[in-house]
């Protein structure tokens, strides 16, 4: 019995040697569908959520789930077969850092944090939903699959919750701190990749630091497959792409503001 239990945990918390996850399979589409339903419910029942006596507890619960999901990624690395090392497993990821900021935003109702994560999540983390390349060897029978989707779904849930329940919205000024954080993460990744270079992991596996996929394309298809191989050219391309992706989440607010401006003169004329 003990041997079977140990085998289960080794399997569940480990990863496969062959492809276990495919894009736009049921394992990919079901989490996206669940996320869509949750976001729809937040929008539909936003007033009830705002007036609920449990509103503060709801925010605390969401933030705790986010922190546990993020930390459990590192707890999982205690598994000996996962070969934890500084080349692959330092906390230098956009979604991981956004997760921490979102959790703090929920606990404090910080508008400054919202300004950062609105663009960070809707502009960049959406790529992790559409092309979850890191799940190539971790299908629905692995813990990493559930940890990944929980972490990334909660990013969108937290942003939509603060936007619709607490009526927060971004402005053009919000763009600046969010870009500053993104560039800081990028520079940190470039520095870490340069400083660490290549080396052997505890399991004597030769590898190269590749935070934010700047040095090489990881297993699994993503937008990184279309970028040049030169790290600096790749970084410049990423900045250009992200600049465009950052603009897209603000377009709905531009439309809303323009409609309000058109309606205001009409009301004054009617009066």
What local confidence, expressed as pLDDT, does residue 236 receive?
Answer: 78
What local confidence, expressed as pLDDT, does residue 198 receive?
Answer: 86
| 18 or 9: which leads in pLDDT | 18
Note whether residue 238 is domain-resident: yes
Note whether residue 9 is domain-resident: no
| 269 or 116: which leads in pLDDT | 116
Kindly report the CA angle at 83 between 82 and 88, in degrees rounded to 5?
95
Note whether residue 76 is domain-resident: yes
Q: Which pLDDT band holds residue 6 (cuts at 50, 70, 90)?
A: confident
Q: Which pLDDT band holds residue 55 (cuts at 50, 70, 90)?
A: very high
Note whether residue 125 is domain-resident: yes
Note whether residue 5 is domain-resident: no
* Number of domains the chain is built from: 1
Least confident of 56-60, 111-115, 169-173: 169-173
Note whether residue 236 is domain-resident: yes
Average pLDDT over residues 41-58: 96
Q: Other C-beta atoms within 10 Å of 66: how many? A: 25
Average pLDDT over residues 21-37: 96
Q: What is the largest CA-CA distance in the chain?
A: 80
What local confidence, expressed as pLDDT, does residue 39 receive?
Answer: 98
Note whether residue 4 is domain-resident: no
pLDDT at 238 over 80: no
Summarised one tens digit per residue, pLDDT across range 207-223 is: 888 888 877 766 666 66
> Does pTM surpass 0.85?
yes
Summarised one tens digit per residue, pLDDT across range 67-112 is: 999 999 998 887 777 778 888 889 999 999 999 999 999 999 999 9
Domain residues for the domain of 70 are: 15-270
Kindly report the CA angle at 164 between 160 and 166, in degrees rounded to 5?
105
What local confidence, expressed as pLDDT, does residue 231 receive?
Answer: 66
What local confidence, expressed as pLDDT, does residue 220 receive?
Answer: 65
């Amino acid at each position: 019995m003990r041997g079977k239990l140990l085998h289960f945990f080794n399997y569940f918390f480990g990863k496969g040697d062959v492809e276990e996850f495919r894009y736009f399979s049921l394992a990919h589409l079901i989490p996206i569908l669940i996320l869509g339903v949750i976001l729809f419910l937040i929008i539909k029942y936003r007033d009830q959520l705002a007036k609920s006596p449990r509103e503060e507890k709801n925010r605390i619960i969401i933030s705790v789930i986010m922190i546990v999901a993020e930390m459990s990624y590192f707890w999982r690395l205690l598994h000996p077969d996962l070969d934890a090392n500084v080349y692959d497993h330092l906390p230098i990821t956009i979604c991981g850092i956004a997760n921490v900021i979102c959790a703090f935003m929920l606990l404090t109702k910080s508008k400054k944090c919202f300004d950062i994560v609105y663009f960070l999540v809707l502009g960049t983390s959406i790529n992790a939903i559409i092309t979850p390349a890191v799940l190539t060897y971790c299908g629905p029978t692995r813990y990493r699959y559930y940890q990944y989707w929980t972490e990334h779904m909660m990013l969108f849930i937290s942003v939509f919750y603060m936007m619709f329940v607490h009526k927060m919205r971004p402005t053009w000024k919000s763009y600046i701190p969010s870009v500053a954080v993104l560039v800081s993460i990028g520079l940190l990744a470039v520095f870490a990749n340069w400083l660490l270079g290549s080396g052997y992991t505890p399991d004597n596996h030769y590898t190269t630091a590749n935070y934010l996929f700047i040095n090489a394309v990881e297993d699994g298809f993503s937008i990184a497959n279309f970028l040049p191989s030169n790290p600096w050219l790749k970084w410049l391309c990423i900045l250009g792409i992200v600049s465009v992706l950052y603009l897209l989440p603000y377009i709905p607010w531009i439309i809303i503001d323009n409609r309000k401006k058109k309606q205001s003169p009409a009301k004054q004329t009617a009066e």
